[in-house]
């Protein structure tokens, strides 16, 4: 009995997580998970994401890309210190970068 309960809980969490990924109601997906992992797999593989989930993913990707861009570093040609690629002026020596990307 106890192991069954644990499997149910795990499947319930899996269902809720897939619900989160796809943008479906998480409680419903947790219930589906308890009903059977096969149902979950089918939903995971073949069901489309909702518009909200796609928008959330796109927004997340945009923020991640922006952060990566912001974290890009380049060496200052004058003092050699690493400054962000977006910098117009070196924060260490005041060198002005000509090319702004």
Check residue 30 for interaction with Zn ion (CB under 5 A): no
Q: Which H helix or E strand runs over 82?
A: strand 82-84
Check residue 73 for interaction with Zn ion (CB under 5 A): no
* Selected binder of Zn ion within 21, 43, 95, 97 (CB under 5 A): 95
Burial of 18 (0-12, 13-18, 19+ CB in 10 A): buried
Of 70 and 92, the one with the shorter C-beta distance to Zn ion is 92
* Selected binder of Zn ion within 27, 41, 58, 78 (CB under 5 A): 78
CB of 21 to Zn ion, least distance (A): 45
Rounded distance between C-alpha atoms, residue 74 and residue 86, angstroms: 9
């Amino acid at each position: 009995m106890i192991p069954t309960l644990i499997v149910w809980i795990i499947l319930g969490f899996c269902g809720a997580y897939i619900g989160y990924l796809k943008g479906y109601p998480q409680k419903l997906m947790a219930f589906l998970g308890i009903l059977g992992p096969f149902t979950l797999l089918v939903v995971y593989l073949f069901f489309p994401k909702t518009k909200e989930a796609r928008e959330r993913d796109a927004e997340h990707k945009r923020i991640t890309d922006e952060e990566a861009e912001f974290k890009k570093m380049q060496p200052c040609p004058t003092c050699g210190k690493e400054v962000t690629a977006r910098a117009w002026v070196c924060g260490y020596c005041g060198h002005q970068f000509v090319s702004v990307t």
